[in-house]
Structure 1
Amino acid sequence: MNRKKGFLLVIMGATFWGVGGTTAQKLFHHHGIEVDWLVTTRLLIAGFLLLAVQFFGKDRSQVLGVWKDRKAGTQLIIFGLIGMLAVQYTYLASINHGNAAVATLLQYLAPVMIIVYLVLRKQSVLTRVDWITVTLALAGCFFLLTNGSISQLSVPIPAIVWGVLSGVALAFYTLYAIPLLKKYDSIVIVGWAMIIGGIALSFIRPPWRIDLSSFTGSTYLYLTFVIIFGTMLAFWFYIESLQSLSPKETSLLSSIEPLAAVFTTVLWLKEAFGFYQWIGTICIFGMIFLLALGKGSSPKNSDTSKSAEPLKVS
């Protein structure tokens, strides 16, 4: 029963992430919501909700205890600003300039970036699976962005730039969090990181400065889904699934996220996807499955191997 519950939770969480990206696209393109405002509001509300879950349902001492450790506190601030805020902003900016499907698929290049980084730092050795995944990633990006035509891009350049930066930010986010996750629950780390990122962006785009008179019932409905389901519940369900499933299983099942983003973008928002873009999508899905099923790069030390522990939040 616990495993069935775990499978259900990770599938729901990954689906919420994928559909959440498509819903954000709807808000940007049809409801006039600005990226800065949505990122700030999403981070602050979801962050407070996650800390509330920890405080009332888990080890409440960790909520404030993380700040009693000066080193951990400093790392958390860096993680919140350069990790969490960067991941959230670049991902949603890519959606704003393009669409949720492409943005999500480009963000999923992060594991390949991590492999390359660890190899360059001589912390791991390339395996045959690594070569195949890198090849699939490059081929997938080529077909996804060009639709098979070298002369022109099928995706706006700003969407590509923000999408690649989203992958870079997610790679940093994943690697930098490792020391913090050894000491504290992931909900505490992610919850505080969201609040830190939200407060920082509030100085640039205060969430209270918005004309609510232009909001319709649909606007509030979509906002609720993005913040509650696409952020807070998605992460919570994903983390809870780790109680009964292995990291490999959760990583594999989380590939439902780009699948949900692609299909909702095409079927709900009626975004055109060319034949070669579907080929590119299949290549990236193949990369994700190989990374989830295989061992990937052979680590040279135990710390590096823990970088594969899932800590995903879109």
Structure 2
Amino acid sequence: MNRRKGILLVLIGAICWGVGGTISQKLFQQYGIDVNWLVTVRLLISGGLLLFVHVMTKEKTHLMGVWQKKRTVMQILLFGLMGMLAVQYTYMASIQHGNAAVATLLQYTAPVMIIVYLVIRRQSTFTRRDLVTVVLALAGMFFLLTNGSISTLTVPFAAVMWGILSAVALSFYTLYPISLLKQFDSLVIVGWAMLIGGGALSLIHSPWKVNLTHLPFEAYVYLLFVVIFGTMIAFWFYIESLQYLSPKESSLIGSVEPLAAVVTTVFWLKEPFGLFQWIGTACIVYMILFLALYQPKK
């Protein structure tokens, strides 16, 4: 029963992530929502809700622990700005300039960047598994972005650059907070990081100075989904699934996120996708599955 619960949680979380990206694209393109405003609002509200969930479900005294030492204060500030804010903003900017499918798939090339970084730092050796991963990622990106023709990009250059930056930010987001997560609950780390990122961006783009009265009712529903389900629920459910499943199982099932983004972008938003772009999509999705399933021999 617990295993089934874990599978259900991670499936809902991953699908919410993927669909949330597609809905964000609709908000940008059809309703003229500003990417700066949306990123700020989703970070502030989701961060506050995650901390509220922690207070209601876990030890309240752990909430402020991250602020009691100068080292952890600097770490959470850096993670909030260079990790959380960077990965959220670059991903949304890639969607705004392109589409959710390409943005999500580009972001999922982050494992290749992590492999390269660890090899350069001599914290890891380059294995056959790494070679397969790199080849799949590069082939996937080539077909996805060019549709098989090197003469032109089928995706706007700005969307490609933001998508690659999103993968870089996700790599940092994955590697940097390891020491923090050994000391504090993940909901505390991510909740505070969201508030830090949202607070910093609100100093530049105030979330209160916006006029939303012209929006139809359905646009408010889409906004609510992106903030609550596409951000807060998505992360919370994924974290909760780790109580019932192994990280390998959760990451494997979580690979439905790019699938959800591609399917909803193509069939709901009617974005054109060529044959070679589908081949590129298959390469990147297979790379994700390969990373989750393949266990190198000790």
- Structure 2 gap segments, 5+ residues each: none
What's 2:190 paired with?
A: 190
User: What are the Cα deviations for residues 247-278 of structure 1, in whole angstroms up to 9, with x where unaligned?
Assistant: 00001011000000000000100000000000
User: What are the Cα deviations for residues 23-54 of structure 1, in whole angstroms up to 9, with x where unaligned?
Assistant: 00010000110000000000000000000000
1:91 has 2:91 as partner: yes
What's 1:215 paired with?
A: 215
- What amino acid maps onto 2:105 in structure 1? L
What's 1:133 paired with?
A: 133
What's 1:290 paired with?
A: 290
- What amino acid maps onto 1:261 in structure 2? A
CA RMSD of aligned residues (A): 1.1
Inter-partner Cα distance in structure 2 for 1:97 and 1:217: 25
Alignment length (residue pairs) = 298
User: What are the Cα deviations for residues 101-151 of structure 1, in whole angstroms up to 9, with x where unaligned?
Assistant: 000000001111000100011000111111011000000000000000010
1:110 has 2:110 as partner: yes
Percent of residue pairs bearing the same amino acid type: 65
Trace 1:1-314 onto structure 2 (pairs within 5 A): 1-295=1-295
- What amino acid maps onto 2:96 in structure 1? N
- Structure 1 gap segments, 5+ residues each: 299-314
Inter-partner Cα distance in structure 2 for 1:85 and 1:296: 34
- What amino acid maps onto 2:271 in structure 1? E
User: What are the Cα deviations for residues 152-200 of structure 1, in whole angstroms up to 9, with x where unaligned?
Assistant: 0000000000000000000001100101000011111000000000000
How far does residue 69 in structure 1 lie from its aligned partner after superposition? 2.3
Answer yes or no: is the 8 Å Cα contact 1:130–1:297 preserved in 2.
Answer: no
Inter-partner Cα distance in structure 2 for 1:2 and 1:213: 45
Inter-partner Cα distance in structure 2 for 1:54 and 1:4: 23
What's 1:305 paired with?
A: none
Inter-partner Cα distance in structure 2 for 1:173 and 1:231: 16
TM-score for the superposition, normalised by structure 2:
0.98
Answer yes or no: is the 8 Å Cα contact 1:126–1:297 preserved in 2.
Answer: no
Inter-partner Cα distance in structure 2 for 1:270 and 1:62: 47
Runs of 4+ residues deviating >3 angstroms: 295-298
Inter-partner Cα distance in structure 2 for 1:37 and 1:121: 37
Answer yes or no: is the 8 Å Cα contact 1:124–1:297 preserved in 2.
Answer: no
Answer yes or no: is the 8 Å Cα contact 1:40–1:198 preserved in 2.
Answer: yes
How far does residue 297 in structure 1 lie from its aligned partner after superposition? 11
